[in-house]
Amino acid sequence: MSLNDTVTKWILIDNKIQELNAELKQLRHDKNILESALTNYAKDNDMENTTVKVNNNKIKFSVTKTVEPITFKYLERNLCNIIKSEEQLQKTMEYLKDNREVKQTYSVKQVNK
């Protein structure tokens, strides 16, 4: 297969993926609206950790706890409780930022017309 044929096929596939992603985005939006209504109903009716069967499907209302991610903002906010010197805190933050691993990846992207 020539380079031109390969690029043409790649562009067709990329366009199809963009189309499907747009459709998925709308479906996720619609699902989130319905999920919000369902979770509000479950909260209002004390249905946490309850399983409901509808048609041959089951859904479970549950509560999930998530932990805040470790970001530079989080680190600085909490390290100031341990490192009292503002100068030392800034040096520590600068060190952490400057010593992050840099990962390089190669990719092919379609440039919009």
Please answer whether residues 12 and 111 qualify as being in contact, where contact means their C-beta atoms are separated by less than 8 angstroms.
no
Residue 60 structure tokens: 């479970």
Provide the Cα torsion 45, 46, 48, 53; round to 10°.
-40
| Segments making up each domain of the chain, as ranges | 1-64, 66-100
Task: Give the pairing type, strands 57-61 and 50-54.
Answer: antiparallel
The torsion angles phi and psi of 111, rounded to 5 degrees, stand at -90, 125
pLDDT digits (tens, 9 = 90+) for 29-73: 999 999 999 999 999 999 988 999 999 999 999 989 999 999 999
Residue 112 pLDDT more than 90? no
Task: Give yes or no for residue 113 having a pLDDT over 70.
Answer: no
pLDDT value for 54: 92
